[in-house]
Amino acid sequence: MVSVADAPGLVVARDLTKRFGPKVAVDRLSFTVEPGRVTGFLGPNGAGKSTTMRLITGLDRPDGGTATIGGVAYGQLAKPLTRVGALLEARSVHPGRSARNHLLFLAQTQGLPAKRADEVLDLVGLREVANKRAGGFSLGMTQRLGIAAAMLGDPPVLMLDEPVNGLDPEGIRWVRTFMRQLASEGRTIFVSSHLMSEMAVTADYLVVIGRGRLIADSSTDDFIARSSERSVLVRSPDTARLRELITGNGGAVQETEGDGGLVVTGLPAPRIGELAASAALVLHELTPRLPSLEEAFMELTADSVEYGKVEHGKVEHGKVEHGKVEHGKVEHDTGSAS
């Protein structure tokens, strides 16, 4: 690790554990979030993302482990909003209070000037509704108000829990650009999402959890590359012969929708090319494809999904430990009632 543990932008979780009754929501979770990049916090619903963020910000008490921001526990920060900005749940505002008064009281707790409230309202484009009651806001406006509150203390660290939830495409683009810009200023951006496509374009780095445990902690590119699920897109004027050729040599074929392309798994691209050449078959396209982030994610978390079941089969939960995955055994039901 290059960074010093007490750099103001460094977020460190060490063996964080949280139980709700018999259910372990966060299970000895350790990871580091570094400044200057957008770190995506990914996991299926119920994986413990929100709980982890609540533990880091001291809203929930951990049953074990520690979380620090710049080497200091959140509860020990003197003016926390100037160190960490957090958007945890949109519903964190009194509906009867105006946007401006919400930001004003937060500013007063930090000894920040009142004009700071107006500045962040400008920043998120809510100046015109500053004196309107927050209860009348749309979900998108409420999210913007939450982001304004997070930016109030101009903090080096931002933690955002599902910030694009409920936003329209324009709003989503705004948040994405905003996060990238803040990261380029050297801030730490830690953002959770269950939207894989969103993370694929926003996050440089990923912390992936399932069932409260760490599954992966790597750059987005590495995460995708590590996935074993590769495929090759092939097109030929003679689709029927191509299909025969591939299945006859141990590959699996899936037709793309409508345009006659075949997605081949189980055979590498060079091998498909050689097979086609030896059979004198014309190919129009031969493209190796990396899995999408979504596919990589599904593969890695298949055995840690909350409900623990996949279609047509039963999943025995795989052992998942600190960044390594051993795939769970998949026992297919063979029709017999169990």
Partner 1 sequence: MMAGLLTAEWTKIRSVRSTLWSLLAFVVVAVGFSALIALVISNTWNSPGNHPNHLRLLEDPTEVLFGAGLGLGQLAICVLGVIVMSSEYSTGAIRASLLAVPRRIPMLAAKAIVFALLDLVVSAIVVFAVFFISTAILRSHVSITLSEPGVTRACIGGILYLTVLGLFALAIGGLIRHTAGAVATVIALVLVVPPLITLIPGTLANHIHGYLPTVAGQLVAQSSQQPADVLSAWQGFGVFCLWTIVLLGVSGWLLVRRDA
Residue 335 CB: number of other CB atoms within 10 A?
5
For position 101 contacting partner 1 by CB under 8 A, the verdict is yes
Residues linked to residue 330 through DSSP beta bridges, in sequence order: 315
CA–CA distances in Å: residue 171 to residues 87, 141, 154, 155: 16, 10, 21, 22
For position 49 contacting partner 1 by CB under 8 A, the verdict is no
What is d(CA 309, CA 312) in angstroms, rounded to the nearest whole number? 9
What is d(CA 47, CA 215) in angstroms, rounded to the nearest whole number? 11
Q: Which stretch binds partner 1 (CB under 8 A): 9-17, 109-117, 208-216, 301-309?
A: 109-117
Number of residues that bind partner 1 (CB under 8 A): 33
What is d(CA 121, CA 152) in angstroms, rounded to the nearest whole number? 9
For position 86 contacting partner 1 by CB under 8 A, the verdict is yes
Selected binder of partner 1 within 21, 22, 96, 335 (CB under 8 A) = 96
For position 106 contacting partner 1 by CB under 8 A, the verdict is yes
For position 83 contacting partner 1 by CB under 8 A, the verdict is no
Q: Report in angstroms how near the CB of residue 21 gets to partner 1 at its nearest.
A: 13
What phi and psi values does residue 98 have, to the nearest 5 degrees?
-75, 155
For position 66 contacting partner 1 by CB under 8 A, the verdict is no
For position 177 contacting partner 1 by CB under 8 A, the verdict is no
What is d(CA 91, CA 162) in angstroms, rounded to the nearest whole number? 13
Selected binder of partner 1 within 110, 218, 265, 292 (CB under 8 A) = 110
Q: Which stretch binds partner 1 (CB under 8 A): 6-14, 78-86, 166-174, 289-297?
A: 78-86
Selected binder of partner 1 within 111, 248, 268, 313 (CB under 8 A) = 111
Q: Which residue has the tokens 């401006």?
A: 100
Residue 212 CB: number of other CB atoms within 10 A?
25
CA–CA distances in Å: residue 128 to residues 149, 163, 205: 16, 22, 36
What is d(CA 143, CA 139) in angstroms, rounded to the nearest whole number? 6
For position 219 contacting partner 1 by CB under 8 A, the verdict is no
**x/- map, 121-160, partner 1, by CB under 8 A:** ----------------------------x-----------
DSSP 162: S
Binding region for partner 1 (CB under 8 A): 54, 57-61, 74-75, 77-78, 80-81, 86, 88-89, 91-98, 101-102, 104-106, 108-111, 149
